[in-house]
Every structure is written in structure tokens, then in C-alpha cells.
């Protein structure tokens, strides 16, 4: 089974085209004002229309309230909601019930102890995003270009729900990350950029080629 790729933090139509050309299964839009990849709702709506069928459009938000989500979803056709803040399992369940869309919750990992949180969220999510835990003083909950010790996931090929590996992935290390973790899906943002928020088509192709060089499941 080939590894599925999510290119996140897209903000230009050319980046959508590059992601699709590289074989993306998901494209991500960041609606979090502190991020250099932040995109306004009106721009997101225009970009979403350029995404072809078969590629899932993902909204990344951080602790967004119902009013913010109502506004976005009234204007943008989206397929998956990625909650990347401190949302509780109860809040995740509320979002899923309110909007009727699949929900993916990001879990920050720095040590084995952090993996225990997966059991709290697995019953209420459709997918998990296993990401590097941000430093205590970081302004961004993700997209910091940091990796965690992938050996923490070694041998954990089966989870209660589908999951995606994120955090510091690049064209140079994604194949090793997949081998070590058995990830069937990977998420990349800063690792394929020329500058913060500016995607590089060559790096995106290289990332896809590297991810495709090892089969999902680490084999």
C-alpha cells in the first residue's frame, strides 16, 4: 500500500497544483492567525474550488469556537476538520456532531507518556495526527519543523483509528520515518518550503518520491 501524503499550509493556487501533481491525498488550509501559513476564509474558499475530486480538503484550526467554524464552513467546501489546539475529547465530539464532517485531532508527542492521550481521543475521532510536541515557549502548536523520536512508535503499527505522522518531515527523512513508525499516512508543511508559507514544487515532488520509496507499514 502506498503512503498517503497530506501537504499542509497551502495558500497559493500554484501550490495546490504542485501538491496534486505530486500525488497528494490531502491538502491542508491553516486558519490560525499566528501561523505564517494563515489563510483568510475568502482566499481559502477560492483555493478550495481548485482542488480536484479525490483530494481531501482539510481545515486546520486551533481552539476555534462554533462561531468561527460556522463562518468557515458556510463559505468553504471542506472534507475534514483538523483540530490542532487544546481541544478536549468532549469538544472534539461536539465538533463532529455539529458539522457532520470527519475530525482529526493532533496529539503532540515528546515522550512515551504523551502517547497515553491517544486512548482519550481515539473513541471520538476519525483520525489522529501524531505530531512533534511544540516547545513550551512556542507560539505555534505545529508547523515548527521539529521532529520527535520516531522510535517511540516503532512496533505500534495498529492504532484504534487511522493515524498520520507529522513533525519535521522532509524529503531527506520521510522514508526513514515511515520505516521506523509503520506510518501509512504522512503530513508535511515546513519541510517542503522555500520560505515560511511558500511551498516549493521541486521539494514537494522529492518528498512524494521519497515517501513512495518505502511501502506503508515499514516494509
* Mean residue pLDDT across the chain: 91
Where exactly are the structural domains of the chain?
4-211
pLDDT of residue 1: 73
State how far the Cα of 64 lies from the Cα of 92, in Å rounded to an integer.
Answer: 11
State yes or no: is 8 an active-site residue. Answer: yes
The arithmetic mean of pLDDT across residues 61-88, rounded, is 97
State yes or no: is 149 an active-site residue. Answer: no
Long-range contacts from 167-171, C-beta under 8 angstroms, 24+ separation: 167/109, 167/130, 167/131, 167/132, 167/142, 168/132, 169/207, 170/207, 171/203, 171/206, 171/207, 171/209, 171/210
Answer yes or no: is pLDDT of 32 > 60.
Answer: yes
Q: Catalytic pick from 114, 120, 131, 149?
A: 131
Q: Catalytic pick from 8, 43, 79, 114?
A: 8
Residues 208 and 188 sit within 8 Å (Cβ to Cβ): no
Give per-residue pLDDT as tens, 132-186. 886 565 555 545 456 788 888 886 656 778 999 999 999 999 999 999 999 999 9
Q: Domain 4-211: what homologous superfamily?
A: Aldolase class I (3.20.20.70)
pTM: 0.91
Amino acid at each position: 500500500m502506498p503512503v498517503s501524503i497530506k501537504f499542509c499550509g497551502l495558500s497559493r493556487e500554484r501550490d495546490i497544483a504542485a501538491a496534486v501533481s505530486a500525488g497528494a491525498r490531502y491538502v491542508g488550509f491553516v486558519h490560525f492567525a499566528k501561523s505564517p501559513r494563515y489563510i483568510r476564509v475568502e482566499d481559502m474558499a477560492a483555493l478550495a474550488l481548485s482542488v480536484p475530486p479525490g483530494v481531501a480538503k482539510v481545515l486546520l484550526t486551533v481552539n476555534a469556537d462554533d462561531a468561527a467554524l460556522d463562518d468557515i464552513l458556510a463559505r468553504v467546501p471542506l472534507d475534514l476538520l483538523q483540530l490542532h489546539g487544546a481541544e478536549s475529547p468532549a469538544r472534539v465530539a461536539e465538533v463532529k456532531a455539529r458539522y457532520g464532517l470527519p475530525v482529526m485531532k493532533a496529539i503532540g508527542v515528546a515522550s512515551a507518556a504523551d502517547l497515553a492521550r491517544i486512548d482519550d481521543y481515539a473513541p471520538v475521532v476519525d483520525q489522529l495526527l501524531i505530531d512533534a510536541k511544540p516547545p513550551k515557549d512556542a507560539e505555534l502548536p505545529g508547523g515548527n519543523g521539529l521532529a520527535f523520536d520516531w522510535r517511540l512508535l516503532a512496533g505500534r503499527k495498529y492504532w484504534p483509528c487511522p493515524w498520520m505522522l507529522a513533525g519535521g518531515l522532509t524529503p531527506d527523512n520521510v522514508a526513514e520515518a515511515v520505516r521506523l513508525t509503520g506510518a501509512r499516512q504522512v503530513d508535511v508543511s515546513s519541510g517542503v518550503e522555500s520560505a515560511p508559507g511558500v511551498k516549493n514544487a521541486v521539494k514537494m515532488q522529492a518528498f512524494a518520491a521519497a515517501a513512495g520509496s518505502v511501502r506503508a507499514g515499514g516494509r
